[in-house]
Amino acid sequence: MSNIFNYGTDHLTIGICLDIASGKTKGIINKEAADMIQASWREVEKIVHSHHPVYGINTGFGPLCDTRISEEDTSLLQSNILKSHSVGVGKPIPQEIAKLMMITKVHALAQGYSGIALKTLERIIWHIDNDIVPVVPEKGSVGASGDLAPLSHLFLPLIGLGEVFENGERQPASKLLNKHGLQPLLLGPKEGLALINGTQFILSFAMKAVQRLDDALNRADLIGAMSLEGLMGSIRPFDERLHQIRPFKGTRMVAHRLFTLLDGSEINSSHINCDRVQDPYSLRCMPQVHGASRNAWLHLKELTEIELNSVTDNPVIFNADDTISGGNFHGQPLALPLDYATTAAAEIGNIADRRCYLMSEGRYGLPKLLTHDAGLNSGLMIPQYTTAALVTENKTLCFPASADSVPTSLGQEDHVSMGSISGRKLHQVIDNIEYIQAIELLYAAQAMDFRRPLRSTPVIEACHELVRQHVDFIQDDRVFAVDINSLHKLITDGSLLQTAGEAAIAHHIDLSHDEFGIY
């Protein structure tokens, strides 16, 4: 493997982290990082022997922070915290998310401020490299002292407890360790606390959301352009000059993409001199609406990358005489942009539903409900009901979890972020968007067929052809759920964006924008 990432010393990006999780890049601890890790570990040893009280090393946790722990019990304290804090409930999170949690935790701890032992990080890297992923329940974190419950479950296998997935099989961690000839680790002072203090649950959901939302935004422009062609909308609202005088980054990018996607279309050229003065907002305001969501995405990406390279442990160990018990574990810096991104994502589905409705109305030369024989056939009447239902479900998910706070830990943790909920909700919204976009794609391809023999641009036509390889033109009513699921697969497996990308490259069309990448 040629791609190497050095934990603790290199700059981690979302793209690199995803590549480590997929096995395209290997994460290692180099000598520089190993020296920092071991130096920090030695400072913690000094604290233990000095008997100077430092939170979580020789004191209890949370409201028990004033309870002193004897030197001989400091190790037992660390294994106890993993056990007692493993209180998560619900189904397991996706294995990729759990793997991202391990990767981001190693990178944070390898920076040398946490007092972790090198052997502990090497065991976590063993899990990453061998794709042996701990079972982590989805619910139970309030996102304040870090993601305590999910991180506790994540690292139970280090001490021979909990469960793991290997090759898709769920099994006890103790059985797995025996199979591979490994012994459970005996955690040293501070190690248990270092493992479970941090925002890696929130962070990993944020990272994956950045990737998924990026794809959804790229599809929104592409499918929106197809819908505009089906509705014979104008590309004039995407003129670069218009967006130079209101230069939001996302708006300018979307306008450029739409104009580039549609420039040279026969369909567009055929109605340049029509008497239609302006299009409905869901067509001509795509740069402003999609672009605003792009701006929210960019904000989330930037803050996520800061968090990726941060130390979110507590206390932070500068040296044995200089430790700070602060709040770097608090999830608020990500909770707020995750909630913002949830609303931004929901709006992508909202405007797509409006385009579906437009295409079913029978305006601009299209037949009502996009069928020749409306009456005997319902045509594309009911799929828009599904988009309407999904849009409303997304709206209910837009309540910001970060607006709520329930005090915990007997009031010691009297303000919490609830960012873990923000992260999970965002993915639920994106799940719904993928179905909404599948339905808009069904409508857009059908509407474009009514404009034949006129053709659109190479990228749009390549996408239309892909649709028709899987879903036939609708002549008569059929079970449309089959069509929707077929198109949903093209969306979720990346086929639609891959087809568009290949066509763009083949015809020397540039749809990219470096600032909006994840590497």
Q: Which residues are catalytic?
A: 55
| CA atoms within 13 A of residue 231's CA, in its CB half-sphere | 31
Q: Long-range contact list for 422-425, CB < 8 A, 24+ apart?
A: 422/143, 422/202, 422/334, 422/335, 422/338, 422/339, 422/342, 423/201, 423/202, 423/205, 423/206, 423/209, 423/334, 423/338, 424/138, 424/205, 425/342, 425/397, 425/401
Between helices 286-308 and 249-262, what is the axis angle to 10°?
A: 120
Structure-block tokens of residue 311:
């130390």
Q: 166 forms bridges with which residues in the sheet? A: 169
Residue 27 burial by CB count (10 A; 0-12/13-18/19+): exposed, middle or buried? buried
How many Cβ atoms sit within 10 Å of the Cβ of residue 178?
12
Q: Which of 453, 477, 452, 467 is nearest to 500 (CA)?
A: 467
**Would strands 26-28 and 133-134 be described as parallel, antiparallel, or unpaired?**
unpaired
* Cβ-count burial 263-296 (b if 16+ within 10 Å, e if not): eebebbeebeeeeeeebeebbbbbbbbbbbbbbb
Answer yes or no: are the C-beta atoms of 137 and 153 closer than 8 Å.
yes
Answer yes or no: are the C-beta atoms of 199 and 334 closer than 8 Å.
yes
Question: Cα separations (Å) of 102 from 50, 131, 496?
Answer: 32, 11, 31
Q: Which helix (H) or strand (E) holds 432?
A: helix 419-449
Helices (H), ranges, 263-331: 266-269, 281-284, 286-308
